[in-house]
Structure 1
């Protein structure tokens, strides 16, 4: 039997860490190009590409060339978003990198105004527009690729590395520019400024190699293979997600703070208060190096408490710290500059950077995710791009007065925070439930049509080789749990794969039912006891149970078609809970059902919380309160299974049941399940989450659980302090 995940592409593309690091590396290289232009515009281009007699107007014009790319970015968002949402996430990432690198190299080759006159700024603006088109798709493309392969409970963490790439690009660009800016003036303005731009050829080559090794996210590949993508993403995004686009536009006003710090404040400090360029550059480098550390940590917080509170707190923090940063510039106090730079960039703005990739991407459906996110960001970024020029104009009459700039920036930050308040919290929403519903535009494929999935085909979309297997038999998907040597016990990857496999089957218009299988030795032994024993804090337990176990159970409950458990042997702990939340179950005569959690001082949380919505309370209580195994007859009487057959007939009986269901229309099946599981999907799963939170915060760290784990490791009976027989020695 073929195994899932054993193709080279699948192995390359299914690692969230690899996708995150590739996004960071590519983002670093992409934004290196963007930031060396920003630095050159602030420090050099006013004298190189504009008449020397223009004076301050030349600086203003130079800043405007930087801003021009922001006007081009929405066009890039539409064009590159279309490529990403229609042709592939990887393809657009490579296209972006090559376009940006080529344009940056050519900027380094441009003659000065003194050589070719007005053609110098004309060519500069043209290349800058092309750079803007390129950058218009970068962040969204990198974020979308990463979020579509990241674990559900770590989406903010892995996508934060695309923002780390932006920060890394700025640090790299600044480090390159420091020795360049220290050159004698004649050398700087003739050939020195060109070095960082020409070096982009090496940077682009490195980035191309890294991104070429990526594979497309599996969810996108599945949608493309099923012809389920929309024809014109930009039309669809405004039809179904216009509210999300508007919200992202308003939230993206926060990025104006970044350009104020990196562009306006840099020019302001060096020209109006005579602070050395090298000093200001080092302030920016140190604060951004700190952000490389704080952003992933803050992203972990966003995975725990949600995207909204982190994003809002970051904006409010920036609104306050900008006043301190400008005051430090006015005071010309270097230590104070480093301190306020740390507060502004390493803490406050880092909270925005850490949370916005996941926050924005999760507002959109897979079919328009890149277009929607890119378009919203880039329209909002127009304000950021022109902010330095606007601020220069505001301070024209009193160049040393920074107060209007700080006030307007604070107002912008507060506006972004208020926009975020109106968004839904999506940190705990499964990937396939994100965004607004989009009608299936793909033509349905019948078994004898070209492109239809062949009978017996095995899907290849697993994270780890041999972890789980999915086989097609007509309109039925059969999912077999992996790790038979561990009695199919679920580790973190197993729970994630189960959720993804069921969601994939749910989204397949050809599928009418899903059957879950174990083996002759066990159906599923529940949570891997090794992983359970490693949970040492309430936070780790929450990450595991609420971030992995609940999404898998929820995927079964919310599956569009019935899920049937085929139980030939023991269903233990979480395995019995999988049977509980399945729509139907067929058991063999040798099958047993056991909830042994109380033996290690905890309780069968999912079962206890969900059973009142699926079983009669007295039989359910008997199963949940005792640690003894129940046979298939007992399970039949309490409603945990609905049919008992011979052990060798279980799989065939489950498949026949699935085929019987498949005789109905998919829409009728979907609607029937939605109503029959309504209370379980809403009240039941809410009870499960509440019970697991109580388990993580109270029970797991309590004395009974401590004693239970110790007794398990020492292979003896537990002596629970809360037990009637606590004083009785173990056998």
Structure 2
């Protein structure tokens, strides 16, 4: 019996709800790293070393992401997208909940940071296979003219995850410092178990993508998708990985590093910064939708290039505005940064779907996205802390961010998008119609 064609609403829920939950899990770790993990899990270090250690633990999750993308992508290309999406959600949700009940260094000594790192690795491994599957299960149900729009369903999860994680921390930000450090920081992590249940219910109802079913029916499933990918399209993987650096580089500069820089250097209070970043996500979400529509009309690559160019241009104004100490100026800095990310995010799902053949698409999209995320997301906060400590100036940080985004711009310009189905071609069975 053929699988029923899912509605656009069900695809939106499956892609967006799941990624929102997973990115909520991921971002609360980043927020806690900036605000409290250094003191709780690395108390024997100096404040600077403790911050570096906390951000280093945050970075461990990014190191696990490409491995998760390769392993989960392998099985996603072998047995299907749906099963892997259920697995990634479970891995991320359970590891996040366990972080919420983890004893600190004061209770169990060195075992505390070791367990924190282990859970962060599991969390990162799960997230590594999440984005590719969530994007593909939507884009592979779409007609060629709507791939960017459907791919944006999963991209909504990034700002929504940030929004909900910030709301969770804002709810407890007013606690006295002693209570926040003792138990308050745990609440956002513990809430993830309820979100996990909601996500599992939604994703278990999802049907397999028609393009993957087509690969199965034609007996084109490859035994080693990653090996096939690197044998056939190594240049595409490399260029896509570099192109993927800019969005997390901008995002994690704002979402993670600015929480530390804004409070310790500029003098903002914690609640103000969280509120400003939260407000900027509204424009980010709206921008993704608009950018996706533009990508379907004028081409995903063209829109992505525009986004990467704006990322280069905004690196220095971002810091200049925050350095004023004005909440209005900082809000402007974060809102424009949100638009910059939205332009790239709206086009990225459609672009990465077009770059890889369906036989190896889960592996290719996941590995490229996660390698870019590791460089842009894991290294950037660490590099920013180190550059500020070494020079005492924000200028090298802004220059570093601009250079990363410039590399992505060049890669996006150079990358070749294979010719897709003609616009007038009949869509495959199972594709959602307008």
Bin the TM-score by the shorter chain. Answer: over 0.9
Q: Is residue 104 from structure 1 mapped to residue 96 from structure 2 by the alignment?
A: yes
Q: Which residue pairs with 2:221 in the alignment? A: 229
1 or 2, which has the higher strand percentage?
1
Higher relative contact order (CA 8 A, sep 6+): 2
Q: 1:131 aligns with which of 114, 119, 123?
A: 123
CA distance 1:34–1:98, shift in 2 (3 Å): same
1:421 to 413, 419, 426: 413
TM value normalised by structure 1 = 0.57
Could you tell me which of 422, 428, 431 is aligned with 1:500?
428
Asked if structure 2 preserves the Cα contact closer than 8 Å seen for 1:15 and 1:149, the reply is: no
Structure 1, unpaired ranges of 5+: 1-5, 434-494, 505-546, 549-731
> Residue by residue, what CA displacement relative to the aligned partner does 1:264-290 show, whole Å, maximum 9, x if unpaired?
122101111110111111111111111
- Kindly state the Cα deviation for residue 379 of structure 1 after the two structures are TM-superposed: 1.6
Alpha-carbon shift at residue 227 of structure 1 (Å): 2.5
Cα separation, 1, equivalents of 2:401 and 2:391? 18
Greater fraction of residues in helix:
2
Measure, in 2, the Cα distance between the counterparts of 1:204 and 1:113: 28
Give the 3-state SS of the residue equivalent to 2:390 in structure 1. Answer: coil
Work out whether 1:341 is the aligned partner of 2:269. no
Q: Is the 1:17–1:158 contact (alpha carbons within 8 Å) kept by the matching residues of 2?
A: no
Does residue 307 in structure 1 map to residue 307 in structure 2? Answer: no
Aligned counterpart for 1:150 among listed residues 142, 147, 150: 142
Deviations 1:637-659 (Å, cap 9, x if unpaired)? xxxxxxxxxxxxxxxxxxxxxxx
Counterpart pick for 2:370 among 364, 378, 381: 378
In 2, Cα distance between equivalents of 1:272 and 1:219: 51
**Aligned pairs (5 A) from 1:59-458:** 59-254=51-246, 255-345=248-338, 347-384=339-376, 385-399=378-392, 401-425=393-417, 429-430=420-421
Distance of aligned partners of 1:52 and 1:181 in 2 relative to their CA distance in 1, 3 Å threshold: farther
TM-score, normalised via structure 2 length: 0.95
Q: Measure, in 1, the Cα distance between the counterparts of 2:107 and 2:300.
A: 52
Alignment partners' CA distance in 2, 1:307 and 1:363:
11
1:251–1:419 contact (8 Å) kept in structure 2 = yes
- The residue aligned with 1:726 is none
Q: Matches of 2:164 and 2:111 in 1, distance apart? A: 30
Measure the CA separation in 2 of the matches of 1:423 and 1:329. Answer: 34
**Inter-partner Cα distance in structure 2 for 1:83 and 1:181:** 41
Could you tell me whether the CA contact under 8 Å between 1:140 and 1:361 is conserved in 2?
no
- Which whole-Å CA distance do the structure 2 matches of 1:181 and 1:92 have between them? 35
Matches within 5 A, 1:2-81: 9-11=3-5, 14-52=6-44, 54-81=46-73
1:52 deviates by: 4.9
CA contact (8 A) 1:315 1:416 kept: yes
27-36 vs 280-289, which moves further: 280-289
* Per-residue CA distance 1:622-646 (angstroms, 9 max, x = gap): xxxxxxxxxxxxxxxxxxxxxxxxx
Rounded Cα–Cα distance in structure 1 between residues aligned with 2:9 and 2:191? 28
Structure 2 distance, partners of 1:53, 1:292, is 39
Match of 1:524 in 2: none
Instruction: Answer yes or no: is the 8 Å Cα contact 1:233–1:368 preserved in 2.
Output: yes
Deviation of 1:53 after TM superposition, in Å, equals 5.1
Structure 2, unpaired ranges of 5+: none
Secondary structure at the aligned position of 1:393 is classed as: helix
What CA distance in whole angstroms lies between the structure 2 residues aligned with 1:181 and 1:48?
Answer: 17
Deviation at 1:160, TM superposition (A): 0.8
Q: Hey, which bits of structure 1, 4+ residues long, moved more than 4 A?
A: none
Q: 2-side partners of 1:153 and 1:424: how far apart?
A: 19
Distance 2:203 2:167 in 1: 24
Distance in 1, Cα, partners of 2:200 & 2:395:
44
CA shift at 1:231, angstroms? 0.5
Query: Cα RMSD between the aligned structures?
Result: 2.0
1:113 and 1:120 in contact (8 A); partners too: yes
Counterpart-to-counterpart distance in 2, 1:109 and 1:323: 40
Kept in 1: contact 2:250–2:337 (CA 8 A): no
SS at match of 1:429: coil
